[in-house]
Structure 1
Amino acid sequence: MFIKKQGSFSKGGAMSVIISDKDWSTTPVGTIDSWPVGLRTALGILLNSKFPMFLFWGSDMTCFYNDACHESMGIDGKHSDILGKCGAMVLSETWRIMLPIIDELMISGEASWHEDQWLPVLRKGKMEDTYWTSSYSPVNDESGKLDGIIVTLNDVTEKVEVRKKMNEAEERLRLATEIAGIANWDLDLQTHEMIHSESLANILGYKTNAKLTNADLMGQLHPDDLSNIVEKAFEVAMQTSIFKYEARFIKKNGESRWIRSHGKIFFDSNNEPLKIIGTLIDITEERLRREILMESESKFRLLADSMPQLIWTADPFGNLNYYNRSVFTYMGLTKFPAESEGWLSLVHPDESEEYADKWRIAMATGTDFTFEHRLLKYDHQYHWHLSRAIAQKDAVGNIQMWVGTSTDIQQQKIFTTELERQVTERTEELVSNNINLVKINIELQSFVYVSSHDLQEPLRKIQMFISRLYDTEELAFTANAKNYLSKINEASKRMRELIQDLLSYSHTNLSDNLFVLTDLQDLAEDVKKDYAEIILETNGIIEIRDLCEAKIIPFQFRQLLSNLIGNALKFTKPGTPPHVVVKGNRVKGLDIKNLDIDPMLMYCHINIADNGIGFDMEYKDKIFEVFQRLHANKEYPGTGIGLAIVKKIVENHDGIISVSSVINGGANFDIYIPER
């Protein structure tokens, strides 16, 4: 095994050469020539072994190792330094693990065996976790004294890592099954011994650490289910090797639960059953949900069959799987067309392709399906239908089924078509009327022109000739002639006033609505100046205060104020000087009562009150109509158009006008103009 020749070792690989060439004179073991037989023998075993081996010699634990150890223990960087030095100094990474074992051996003197021992090893410049199965053996001299220790190592890192991964996988599986409430069991069919997970005891109502037998399990199955279900399932499994059943189980507290077991039988080479490996889970809640679902489906079908509407359902992929009774009655069928034809075979060819496209989009997106199409009825006529389908989804949005309806809308279609025809005719009629209205407006403008020029011209001539007659022929007139001429003159004046008021009213309708922000206080003061002479003659008073700014059509609003103030100065009580108050304020629409006012807007409010003759409130609406007068022309001259013009101007401003009055108690006009 070991031969010294010229100070070197002839066998033992690369380490033999290194040991032979090393200067040992400075080490605790001295030169090679002085080494004892025990050291030489131990080195012979070490250098010729294919297992990684260390030799720690003497009280200083001088370190030796072989080629296999050099290659597997990652000591390349220490290769020349470790040899001949104390193990504690040169194997610092692993010495703290090896030392307690060495100390124990030195006390007991007996070899020891260690499996899957963790050792940190420096490999390729970094520390790695490695695992070794090792033997620590004593090397004794002739007297039995301990001289050294041989450590034999076997690298089992790969095996340990695989086992760790398997254990982790098994732990993950165990946790997964526990979370899912699934129990595992393994029944030996020869000995009837059963191994099971803790969750099996929990499911069956035992303590977690209880150890159950197959007899325990079978004894608590419902008697009816044991004979009718479980035993028959075992008979089937003997033929197919698949063992599965659902049965009732009576827990220790008397509670009845449903369980599902699923497993596989394994047979030997003689086809004799060896064992069953399987799972078991409590499905009580699942059974309850299933029963509720079946009951709900039964009620749904009973309700659907009682309805005249066509009702159908489809699976998540759009395959129709149920039709209510009305579908068969409506179509005159005893059974529905085959799946290859399906519903589309009954849809009118002109709409079938679009129907299929919309149905595919609904299934892909999960959105509601809605489509109008024609459907074949039992009389072989196509009727218009509105088909709808809504996806029924679970809590996370997965489609479970589709529920659809098809409603016959033939009559609505006929009605809609007729309505569309009537609307078209009415629209054409309105277009024609609008054209006529444009023509009438053009004619009205022509009338305005004629009224303002051609009709007034003969009146001017009549008045001119009457004036000349008075100037040249007055002495020749009889009393009757003078009376007739006076009446002709008054009639022509009245005719002139009537034409001018008609022109004013028509201008109110036809003028451009150019709104300007205007100070109504200044506007009212200008109107007051127009009546200065009348105010002076009648000793009248006109008060104007607190009027606001508003966007108005200035010349129209001037006419409005002029008409109302003029009426107040005209319709006075004999012997009573007129007193007119014009005032205003801004007011919220919400605060204006009993009028058709937008509560969300602000309004400019103008109030005009007088102390005149007033009128009976019976005529409060009539006074705003054209040519309506409450007094004789001789008493109070006028044409009866003034207040009609006022109302039209207020309407042009999207406003409201109201009036209150008492006979001989004056009149009170309220005008509300919305702020723009």
Structure 2
Amino acid sequence: MAIPPVSPEENNRITALESYYILDSLPEEDYEDITQLASDICETPIALISLVDKDRQWFKSHHGLDLQETSLEHSFCVHNLVSPQKPLVVEDARLDVRFANNAFVTGFPNIVFYAGSPLVDPNGYVLGSLCVIDHQPKQLTEKQLSALKILAKQVIKLLELRKQNQALKESEERYRLENIALITNRKRFETVLKHAPIGLGLLRGDEHVFELVNDRIADMAGRRAEDIQGKSLLEALPELSRQGLKEIFDSVRNTGQRFVAPDIPLQIQRNNQLETAHFYASFEPVQEPDGTVSIVDFSMEITEQLKAQRDLQESESRFRAIFEQAPMAMGQLKGRDLVIELGNPQLFEVWGKDPSIRGMRLIDALPEMQGQPFINILEGVFDSGEPFYGNGVLAQLFRNGRLEDLYFDFSYTPLRSADGEVTGIMIMAVEVTEQVLSRQKLEKSEARFRGLIKEAPFAIGVYETNDLIISIANDAMLQFWGRTPEVIGQKLAEALPELEGQPFIPLLHEILRTGQTYRATEEHADLLTNGRLQRYWFNYVYQPIFDSEGKVFAILNSAVNVTDKYLARQELQQSEQRYRDLAAELDQHVQERTQELLQTNQELQRSNENLQQFAYVASHDLQEPLRKIQTFSTLLSKRFAGQLDEQAYNLLERINTAGYRMSSLVSDLLTYSRFATRQQSFDEVSLEAVLAGVLDALSLTIRERKARIQTNALASVKGDAVQLHQLFQNLISNAIKFTPPEKQPEIQIQYELIRRNELPPESKLTGPVFHRISVSDQGVGFDEQYLDRIFMVFQRLHNKNEFPGTGIGLSICQQVVENHGGWITAKSQPDEGTTFLVYLPA
């Protein structure tokens, strides 16, 4: 069943319902009588007083139905909230789309007929309904509906009466409690009046007679309470007659307006003398039952407080002057949240902020503090109550629009309340960036100086004051002296007693006196080394060091041990003649060796000429007879065709084949020889052009074998075009030749530029970058254990009848690659093809 939409006044309606305190109350006879009467008048078995709550309907009275409450989704009465002006009548709920699917219609209690009159409170809010229910269709007469409305109004009257009774009970209870409180308050007032820490008095009538006086006000007046009680103001305190106090009381009594004064100075007769005292006073008018006005005097002497306050103000004024004018940054943080409470101009200048950040948390005002140690340190000071001091600490702060590295000496001091609890932190800081940077620079300079001295290739020492105290001595100097670093800090004469009688100590004193630099070359010194006195020769300098007043305070001693050089020169001078004699002998030997080299060079030239002559003879004298053998055998085969038997034909064919093989062998040998002896003169060669020439030269073979050759873009290299042509031709010819006749040759030529770390481990090449050219086929392949043999002259891995050739082609390839400073290798497996890899320096 659909629930009607909630009205915007629903919250007010629920509040009105709750104001009757009726929900979940016990059954009451008056309400039971109404439902009984409604059931009788309307002739229905069921009558209910239903109150619609936020999420339920609750039955104050349920005649004929044993239910205390239901959910709103089962409620008919909830529809009365929509139209409170007239009753809701449903003659047959089974035929009403609003209720046909309601569980109370389709099941227990099988509601068919429903009539409900809204329960409307005096403010117009519908609290629920008085309803009647039947299990069969029904119609009510006008009189029955009118009676139902009257009974609904009676329910509202009962609810209103209930509310009024409840209010009356609450009022009576309040009166009872207030009466008890009044008696208690009166007793409490009398106690407070007597023991109050401030003066309290009640003055009545025109003469302001003290009707009530506590001990405190009597003490302030320098009297006893019984001496003042019942007397008028001026009778009890005549010294006040001309100080205007009575006139103030008269004004309060006549106008009925209170009078409050934070400081009233009065002269009071106390301790047998007239004293000036200061009071805080509040004179409150009180209306008496007879219409007259009395005055309650609340007074407290503040003489000492004013004096302390003036002292405090003077102290604060002095502190604030110091705080504001202090040359250091000062501030105060409040609470563990570190809220900025105070700060002098110097602090805000250090932070690069203005005073508007007061009241902000430190981390919010200075977000750059995140990740720096200061927030943690401040929280630690607050938690532990122990101060923290920092010297030359680095802080990164935003100033002038950028993050700057700054250094500070600072202190964080906890501030405590009167009970000793930490309430905040006082911060004081002095920027020492220039001093720290100067010190760091000085330390770096000193460290660099000491490092230079320590690592210097010559000996360095520094002697200070007239006692020549050793303040610096590097390892080289200690080694010269044959001493350990323990001598640093000792007098030179005590650290090296063997210097007594030698000129060095007097010379150093003379330099201290005159300030003149002294230099010596190859001057000897006797030093105690390994337990015995030995003589050394030195080049050294004594350089005076001056203070700011121009006085010599130290001497820098730099020395180089030239003993070996000195002794070597002495030895050299002694053996010059021997060296001259050896030089003459060497000159004779050089002349003889030169003659031998000239003779060897001539023999080498003759050998090269012979090799060139052999190439010429092989080119002409050997090739010519081979061509004639091939020509004559061919002519014989043609002329005597049909006259020769099969054996004769086979012999001629074998002669022709042998001649062809011999010609190829000689040609390959010539090529190999020419490449082996050719002088290197390289130019920029396009591999694309070289490959095009090779493919053109092999075009007939490629067409006959229907070979497919694929390649990517090739680069240009430094090399010899003829040799590179031979390299590609031999590799491509091999790839075609070693592909079985029944297969179509497929050849892949790939180029890429690689770095040294991409070379195979077995390569011995040097250099940073290389061209890599690979030629791959799908031929018969070979076992890689024979890799070294395939590049040897006349070495073959296959039968020459199966794959013809001279066995020189790959040797030529290796020679060409090595001529270009490169390396060639191969990868292969039997019946899985071969890839030749050529590496040339780029």
TM-score > 0.5, shorter chain as reference = no
Larger radius of gyration: 2
